[in-house]
Chain A
Amino acid sequence: MNNFNPLYPLNEDEATELAGCLLTASTIERYERCLKNSQAGRRINGELKTAKGDGKDLLRHAWFYRARAIETRNRSEWELPLAVLVSVLGDSGVANVDRLLAALATAQQPQLTWIAGLSRRILANRRGVQLAWSGVKEGYVALKGVDLATAARSVVSPSRRRTSSTWERRLLQVA
């Protein structure tokens, strides 16, 4: 985290815009809408989707701002980047985002009430991902190989796999 901007990834104008909107929000729906419509939210989301932003780095910053927000007894400027990062990362598939959302959703500190509500809403609506093994040892070892194709071939070959059913493609008519 070699960044000297105290509210990274927000710039000053974005932080000002967000502060005005978030701190005057009277409902969680409005709070969430502020984030979705904010210049910062759109910019960071765009950067993440075009690979200009690093999801892991943003997640590290989100944990950092969570710690700062917990240390500060009242609502503070730390809420601004934290809220934006939760909003952007919550809809992404960046690994381990669920842990951040779960930690924030259960936060008891009064200064984190809004972030907790936001996290609960995102958690309820996002699609969770769980990668697991079904307990077939040989397959597990094969997939662990560095060269997946070679490792897979060694188990499957000379087997042949295919989708065999008939299929059709139709253009849906929109009224």
Chain B
Amino acid sequence: MPRPYLLAICSASALDARSNNFSLFVLVEQLQIQQAPVDLPLEIHVYYEFDEPELGVPHEMRLELVDVNGNLAWHSPWIALTSPSRRHRLALAGIQIPNLGYFHLFATIRTIGQPADDAQRSPWGWPLEVTQAEPAQQPG
């Protein structure tokens, strides 16, 4: 199964068209929000390394936000990926924060057409602490 070598949440990114390099801006580990649930336009970068026999094989992956008790708090739809390259980098936009708490974001991948238990979650998750923002102070 393809192995993730990077999973990160950031505010924005740039892909250099000349060098094929990504730059990530403002890595996000902590959020303060006014209300939950909320959809945030953050970027999630998930980079996979494929073995030779896995090239060209249709896979699909999804993001999974897991709370401290191990419960699945949110997940994205399955996203198809078929890589012709050993290293395949996905830049995804949008994450839903269901409630306040301490979460880890994981990436789960599976081979299309295989049984559901074929899916493998990344061995580590990106931490995301979500707390309540202080109410804005009234002028005067």
The minimal Cβ–Cβ distance linking B39 to chain A, given in whole angstroms, is 4
Tell me whether A129 and B33 are in contact (CB under 8 A): no
Tell me whether B20 and A129 are in contact (CB under 8 A): yes
The CB with the most chain B CB atoms within 10 A, among A105, A137, A156, A161, is that of A161
Question: SS class of chain B's interface: helix, strand, loop or mixed?
Answer: strand
Q: Determine the distance from Cα of A9 to Cα of B125 in the docked complex, in whole angstroms.
A: 47
Q: Interface segment, A32-40, A47-55, A78-86?
A: A47-55
Given contacts A133-B93, A158-B34, contact A124 B85 (CB under 8 A): yes
Residue A170 at the chain B interface, CB threshold 8 Å: no
A102 surroundings in chain B (CB, below 8 A) = 84
The residue that A134 contacts in the complex, of B11, B17, B33, B95, with Cβ under 8 A, is: B95
The minimal Cβ–Cβ distance linking B78 to chain A, given in whole angstroms, is 9
Tell me whether B34 and A159 are in contact (CB under 8 A): yes
Render A110-132 as a binary contact track against B, CB cut-off 8 A, 1 for contact: 00000000000001111111111
Residue B88 at the chain A interface, CB threshold 8 Å: yes
Given contacts A92-B19, A135-B76, A163-B26, contact A143 B32 (CB under 8 A): no
Given contacts A93-B16, A160-B32, contact A136 B39 (CB under 8 A): yes
List residues 127-171 of chain A with CB under 8 A from any CB of chain B: 127-140, 142-143, 148, 151-152, 155-156, 158-165
Residue A29 at the chain B interface, CB threshold 8 Å: no
By size class, the interface of chain A is 35 or more
Given contacts A124-B86, A155-B39, contact A162 B30 (CB under 8 A): yes
B19 surroundings in chain A (CB, below 8 A) = 49, 92-93
Q: Size of chain B's interface in residues, with CB distance under 8 A?
A: 50
Residue A101 at the chain B interface, CB threshold 8 Å: yes
Residue B136 at the chain A interface, CB threshold 8 Å: yes
Render B83-94 as a binary contact track against A, CB cut-off 8 A, 1 for contact: 111111111111
Tell me whether B33 and A128 are in contact (CB under 8 A): no
Tell me whether A134 and B89 are in contact (CB under 8 A): no
Residue A23 at the chain B interface, CB threshold 8 Å: no
Residue A94 at the chain B interface, CB threshold 8 Å: yes
The minimal Cβ–Cβ distance linking B2 to chain A, given in whole angstroms, is 12
List residues 1-32 of chain B with CB under 8 A from any CB of chain A: 11-12, 15-22, 26-32
Q: Rank and list the top 5 A-B pairs by shortest CB-CB distance, nearest first.
A: A136-B94, A139-B94, A93-B20, A138-B39, A134-B76
Name 5 interchain pairs, CB-CB below 8 A, sorted by A. Answer: A130-B81, A135-B94, A161-B26, A161-B31, A162-B30
